[in-house]
Amino acid sequence: MKSVEFQAIYIMWLRQMKRFVRSKSRLVSSIVQPLFFLFILGSGFRVATFAEVDDYLSFLAPGIIAMAILFSSMFTGISVLWDKQFGFLQEVLVAPVSRFSIIIGRTLGGATVALIQGFIILLITLGLGVKISGVFGLLLTFVFMILIAFTAVGFGLVIASKMEDFQGFQLIMNLLIMPLLFLSSAFFPVTADPRQLIPMDKICFFNPLFYMVDGLRGSLIIGTATVNPPLLDLLVVLVVCIIMMGLGSYFFSKSEV
Amino acid sequence: MDIIKTNNLTKNFDGLTAVDNISFSVKKGEIFGFLGPNGAGKTTTIKMLTTLLHPTKGSAEIAGFDITAARDKVRQNIGVVFQEPALDIELTGGENLEYHARMYGLNRDKRKTRIDDVLSLVDLEDKKNVLVKNYSGGMKRRLEIARGLMHYPTVLFLDEPTLGLDAQTRRAIWNYIGKMNKEEGTTIFLTTHYMDEADFLCDRIGIIDHGSILVIDSVTNLKNSVGNDVITLSCSDMVKLVKRLEEESWISNIEQHDSFVTLGVEKGEEKIPVIIEIAQSLNIRIKSISVRKPTLDDVFLHFTGRTMRDQEAANTARSVPPRFHGRRR
């Protein structure tokens, strides 16, 4: 790769950082919203008893971290649509920089922002007394966080390339992302029970978010029962990530202004 | 030397031909203008030449590089100022230029001096550290023009550079465009639907309508083709008068339109009494008559048979692919 490509990736990353730091409302809402979930769900469900869960807050924390990274990264992918509507995308596309570098720059920028948010939530949960595992577990957690971020940026890019405006985005959030998040074991465990209206324990295996949340939980928290061993989750998440990034790059490079 | 050369360039959108077999060339150092009503295919041509759209048919070369085969080489050689603003309003003016400079691979020293250079060219030095969202429309345009020049492009594309700006700002922008053409020797390709703009800036003009080029020539030659002076008149019986005037050899061309007639003549002031006499002898009442120097409006009228305004009304009614609604204003 030529050095101009690295410069381009760097400046695209820098632009996202600057925009993130300057956008106070985004900064606040991206931290406050997960905290609402953490405190309100954490307080409400703490009194309920789940067979597999010892401490509900420790159970919930990885789910909230995953959610924060997911939303933030998706937003980055979708924000290509902003650039499209504001015309800035033309400025990017007419530059002598490969489409590949443009995607890498945006993905790295979005992933960095998402990881910063993820770490802030992580620190807050630590402050609330959640017990986390050792160095290896923490490293594995980072890997999961990065993969979640990349996957979500890729997914956002797919949507942004296929959509012309923001109306479709709300639809996808409500009809796709929210149900998948609820079925991911982020907020409550997915276990078999005859009283359930739908077989949650089976559906979750078709849900990529489930592997992300399950893997993050398995690597971050000591002594929680997870459905899969973290390394199996890692494998699935890695495959999903590669597919999503591939699709995102493909659709983005095909889009014309 | 030809900086831009197109050969039967064509673009179709779902059955609608936006650009239809156009061939033209632009010489080094000149200001070349595409003049035509909205929806004539100007923006689509620019998007093809700047590698943002693939041509359906035909080819084009910029600075000797093919726009489809050597896209990166083409991109390296061009600067573009789009019709819609393409700035990041959350960044400062300086940061927008810095972004651009890095995308084009300028090194550190060059970046610094060049940013100051182009900012002073458009008189925005003191606004360098102001967020672009606080800029006025004219300042944004100037910043974009400065940005287009950052990487020393061989040719700068300007798509409707003064659209929606007030008269004073337009004047200023024209001066900047003229200045950079002279000082930097940049070849300029611009599109406009303002006659006065094309008149003021361009060395040569191509008149484009319905995706085809009707004529390409220098501004002076185009005006001369209409006549030294243009007399516009309306009267009670235009058909009769036109028939009579066609016998007069001193009229270089007569064109009858819906509600008026235009005549191309020499020394227009002296011809008005003559025309009135002729009309009176035929018992035709002249409602209004005027003489003026020909404008590009007359040229457009001459080649298309319609004024630009009529043409725009017609084009708006034509179907435009949905995704281009609101974009190709």
Q: Please check whether residue B195 is in contact with residue B35, taking contact to mean a CB–CB distance below 8 angstroms.
A: yes
Q: Is B86 on the interface with A (CB under 8 A)?
A: yes
Which residues form the domain of B258? 227-293
The 3-state secondary structure of chain B, one letter per residue = CEEEEEEEEEEEECCEEEEEEECCEEECCCEEEEECCCCCCHHHHHHHHCCCCCCCEEEEEECCEECCCCHHHHHHHEEEECCCCCCCCCCEHHHHHHHHHHHCCCCHHHHHHHHHHHHHHCCCHHHCCCEHHHCCHHHHHHHHHHHHHCCCCCEEEEECCCCCCCHHHHHHHHHHHHHHHHHCCCEEEEEECCHHHHHHHCCEEEEEECCEEEEEEEHHHHHHCCCCEEEEEEECCHHHHHHHHCCCCCEEEEEECCCCEEEEECCHHHHHHHHHHHHHHCCCCEEEEEEECCCHHHHHHHHHCCCHHHHHHHHHHCCCCHHHCCCCC
Which of B222, B244, B277 is the last residue in one of the domains?
Answer: B222
Please check whether residue B328 lies inside any domain of the structure.
no
Question: Inter-chain contact A18–B47, Cβ cutoff 8 Å?
Answer: no
Q: Which of B47, B84, B104 sits opposite A95 (nearest CB)?
A: B104
Residue B95: list chain A partners with CB under 8 A: 15, 18
- Do B122 and B24 lie in one domain? The reply is yes
Q: Is B158 on the interface with A (CB under 8 A)?
A: no
Residue A95: list chain B partners with CB under 8 A: 75, 100, 103-104
Please check whether residue B300 lies inside any domain of the structure.
no
Q: Please check whether residue A97 is in contact with residue B103, taking contact to mean a CB–CB distance below 8 angstroms.
A: yes
B80, B84, B89, B99, best to mutate vs chain A, most A CBs in 10 Å:
B99
Please check whether residue B308 lies inside any domain of the structure.
no
Please check whether residue B325 lies inside any domain of the structure.
no
Q: For B99-149, how does the pLDDT look when each residue is reduced to its tens digit (9 = 90+)?
A: 999 999 888 888 999 999 889 888 899 999 999 999 998 899 889 988 988
Q: Is B80 on the interface with A (CB under 8 A)?
A: yes
Q: Of B213, B193, B207, B214, which is closest to residue B316 (Cα–Cα)?
A: B193
Residue B262 has a pLDDT of: 87
Please tell me the distance from the alpha carbon of residue B197 to that of residue A80, in angstroms, as a whole number.
Answer: 34
Which of B222, B241, B275 is the last residue in one of the domains?
Answer: B222
B31-35 and B204-209 strand pairing: parallel
Residue B320 has a pLDDT of: 44
- Do B144 and B282 lie in one domain? The reply is no
Which of B172, B190, B222 is the last residue in one of the domains?
Answer: B222
- Do B163 and B34 lie in one domain? The reply is yes
- Do B172 and B271 lie in one domain? The reply is no
Residue B99: list chain A partners with CB under 8 A: 11, 15
Residue A256 has a pLDDT of: 67
Q: How far is B266 from chain A (nearest CA, A)?
A: 48
CB atoms within 10 A of CB A122: 23
Please tell me the distance from the alpha carbon of residue B33 to that of residue A161, in angstroms, as a whole number.
Answer: 33
User: What is the CATH number for B68?
Assistant: 3.40.50.300
- Do B53 and B91 lie in one domain? The reply is yes
Residue B314 has a pLDDT of: 65
Residue B326 has a pLDDT of: 42
Q: How far is B277 from chain A (nearest CA, A)?
A: 59
Question: Inter-chain contact A257–B103, Cβ cutoff 8 Å?
Answer: no
User: Mind listing the pLDDT tens digit of every residue in chain B (329 residues)?
Assistant: 789 999 999 999 888 889 999 999 999 999 999 988 888 889 899 999 999 889 999 999 999 999 999 888 999 999 999 988 899 999 999 999 999 999 998 888 889 999 998 898 888 999 999 999 999 988 998 899 889 888 889 999 999 888 878 888 888 889 888 888 988 889 999 998 887 888 889 999 999 888 899 899 988 888 777 777 888 999 888 888 888 888 888 888 888 888 888 888 888 888 889 888 888 888 888 899 999 888 777 888 888 776 666 666 666 554 444 444 444 33
Residue B307 has a pLDDT of: 66
- Do B175 and B201 lie in one domain? The reply is yes
- Do B191 and B281 lie in one domain? The reply is no
Q: How many domains is chain A partitioned into structurally?
A: 1
Residue B321 has a pLDDT of: 44
ipTM: 0.84
Residue A257: list chain B partners with CB under 8 A: 47, 52-53
Please check whether residue B125 lies inside any domain of the structure.
yes
The set of residues, in sequence order, having a beta carbon less than 8 Å from that of B204 and lying 6+ positions away, is B26, B30, B32, B33, B216, B217, B218, B219
Which residues form the domain of A89? 3-254
Please tell me the distance from the alpha carbon of residue B158 to that of residue B214, in angstroms, as a whole number.
Answer: 21
Please check whether residue B303 lies inside any domain of the structure.
no
Q: How far is A174 from chain B (nearest CA, A)?
A: 25
Q: Which of B78, B84, B105 sits opposite A87 (nearest CB)?
A: B84
Residue A89: list chain B partners with CB under 8 A: 86
Sign for the CA dihedral angle at B228, B233, B239, B244 comes to negative
Interface of A with B in 96-115 (CB under 8 A): 96-98
Please tell me the distance from the alpha carbon of residue A114 to that of residue A103, in angstroms, as a whole number.
Answer: 16
Please tell me the distance from the alpha carbon of residue B268 to that of residue B227, in angstroms, as a whole number.
Answer: 10
- Do B51 and B69 lie in one domain? The reply is yes
B286-292 and B261-265 strand pairing: unpaired
- Do B241 and B275 lie in one domain? The reply is yes
Please check whether residue B304 lies inside any domain of the structure.
no
B207-236 CB burial, b ≥16 within 10 A, e <16: bbbbbebbbbeebeebbebbbebbbebebe
Question: Inter-chain contact B75–A94, Cβ cutoff 8 Å?
Answer: yes
Q: How far is A8 from chain B (nearest CA, A)?
A: 5
Question: Inter-chain contact B90–A93, Cβ cutoff 8 Å?
Answer: no
Q: Which of B52, B82, B86 sits opposite A256 (nearest CB)?
A: B52
- Do B136 and B170 lie in one domain? The reply is yes
Residue A166 has a pLDDT of: 76
The set of residues, in sequence order, having a beta carbon less than 8 Å from that of B323 and lying 6+ positions away, is A164
Tell me the CB-side half-sphere exposure of residue B1, using CA atoms within 13 A: 10
Residue A2: list chain B partners with CB under 8 A: 105
Residue A98: list chain B partners with CB under 8 A: 72
Please check whether residue B92 lies inside any domain of the structure.
yes
Q: How many domains is chain B partitioned into structurally?
A: 2
User: Mind listing the pLDDT tens digit of every residue in chain A (257 residues)?
Assistant: 578 889 999 999 999 999 988 888 888 888 888 899 888 988 888 888 787 777 888 889 999 999 999 999 988 888 888 888 888 988 998 999 888 889 899 999 999 999 999 999 999 988 888 888 888 888 999 999 999 999 999 999 888 888 877 788 788 888 888 999 998 888 888 877 778 888 888 888 899 999 999 999 988 887 777 788 888 999 999 999 999 999 988 888 877 66
Q: Which of A11, A88, A256 sits opposite B86 (nearest CB)?
A: A88
